[in-house]
Amino acid sequence: MSDTVTIKRKRGLDIMKVREDFPILRTTVFGHPLVYLDNAATTQKPLAVLEAQDRYYTTINSNVHRGVHFLSQQATEAYEPGRKKIAAFIHARHTHEIIFTKGTTESINLVASSFGRKFLQKGDAILVTAMEHHSNIVPWQMICEERGALLKVIPVNEKGELVLDELDGLLKERVKLVALNYISNALGTVNPVREVLRAAHGMGIPVLLDAAQAIQHTEIDVQELDVDFLAFSAHKIYGPTGFGVLYGKEEWLNQLPPYQGGGEMIKTVSFEKTVYNDLPYKFEAGTPDMAGSVGLGAALDYIQSLGMDNIRTYEHELMAYALDALRGIDGLRLIGEARERAGVLSFLVGSIHPFDLGEILDKQGIAVRTGHHCAQPIMDQYCIPGTVRASLAFYNTKSEIDALVTGIHKAIQLLG
């Protein structure tokens, strides 16, 4: 580790300096400085990522793996290190346990489709939680319907926490796989994934973690967690859109059939028989997103130069500040009051429609998200159509939280 990184780690983050790495944060919206609080939807990209991708297209672009020519080899040499960086970042045992996908959604669809076709029988079940993103519900519903299996649900209490008392009972109902999010995008709940893993593994049941909202906020060690599958998107961890990762334990990935057929995923093809490629290529049909791998690799380098521990400490402090500030607003109701939370603040104010509040905030340059956040079942449980959601990143500041509070007060004056 370089001296500068060590110094940064000791001193924590210099947020104003960090913000300079993100050119888009200098944008003004309706005459106000942009306050970007929609980080759960997608994060902004630092110059390091933008420049790495630009460099790739400007100087290296070519198709990987298939050519003897100079650029093709350069492209392969630029593309494959991304896989190594990701494996190191999540502490995977093997680099070939990292499968490149389009994002969390495709990673989950891959497992649902391949695992489902191989292991799901009529009357079996998949277990999810009541606070999943649609990406971790619908793919399972689809394969369950196809295989005559059932989708079962771990309930969530009023505070937005999993009701684990029911877990053992549910697992006994012919559950073949548990799929849950690490951190909820709708409530901000950090789920007790270790307890779920322990209970599931106690019965020999594999677990898929949807880490779309966790990878950017907390250190993840897949070996220490002993998780079987883990999915995340590059764009939520300061990398490019359209690129993501499925981690799978080698022993599971070797058992699963390919997800899609095409180039790259084969060793030999004849009309009589096709022999599939080894991991990870067995699951990577077609020309991959080379710039995606380069961009995600650059994002992980950037994050590590700041230090995940520094990021976690700062975001924790910012979250505590934001929670205090929002709780001080008369008539504001937090949706999700879990003891362990990260990244996301979901709320409603009096009888103001989330969309109206979002619009008034937007006019003040404050970007929040309104709606059901692709988590309709948990919204139904709270009997609400949606919420206003402010979601944090390490480049957000306490004065941006103050701006949000001022903006909400303004909305109350106008509409309350």
Residue selected from 87, 92, 212, 291 as contacting ligand 7TS according to rule CB under 6 A: 212
Q: Do 352 and 368 meet the contact criterion of CB atoms below 8 Å apart?
A: no
Min dist CB 174 to ligand 7TS, Å, is: 25
What single string gives the DSSP state of each residue in 326-377?
A: HHTSTTEEES---SSB-SEEEEEETT--HHHHHHHHHHTTEE-EEE-TT-HH
Number of C-beta neighbours around residue 360 at 10 A:
19
Q: Does 289 bind ligand 7TS (CB under 6 A)?
A: no
Q: What is the dihedral of CA 144, 189, 297, 105, to 10 degrees?
A: 20
Nearer to ligand 7TS, 255 or 260 (CB): 260
CB of 235 or CB of 282, closer to ligand 7TS? 235
Amino acid letter, 129? T
| Contact set for ligand 7TS, span 105-164 (CB under 6 A) | 105, 133, 135-136
Residue of 15, 29, 41, 415 that binds ligand 7TS (CB under 6 A): 41
Query: In the complex with ligand 7TS, which residue's Cβ is closer, 210 or 228?
Result: 210
List the end-to-end C-alpha distance of the chain, in Å, as a whole number.
Answer: 53
Q: Which residues contact 271 (CB under 8 A, 6 or more apart)?
A: none
Q: Which stretch binds ligand 7TS (CB under 6 A): 78-86, 188-196, 206-214, 307-315?
A: 206-214
Verify binding: residue 387, ligand 7TS, rule CB under 6 A.
no
Pair type for strands 28-29 and 207-210 = unpaired
d(CA 13, CA 7): 10
φ, ψ dihedrals at 93, nearest 5°: -70, -40
| 45 is an interface residue for ligand 7TS by CB under 6 A | no
- Shortest separation between residue 364's beta carbon and ligand 7TS, angstroms: 21
144 classed as catalytic: no
Q: Which of 138, 374, 384, 405 is catalytic?
A: 374
* Interface with ligand 7TS, residue 233, by CB under 6 A: yes
Residues in contact with ligand 7TS by CB under 6 A are 40-41, 103-105, 133, 135-136, 181, 185, 210, 212-213, 233, 373-374
Residues labelled catalytic: 374
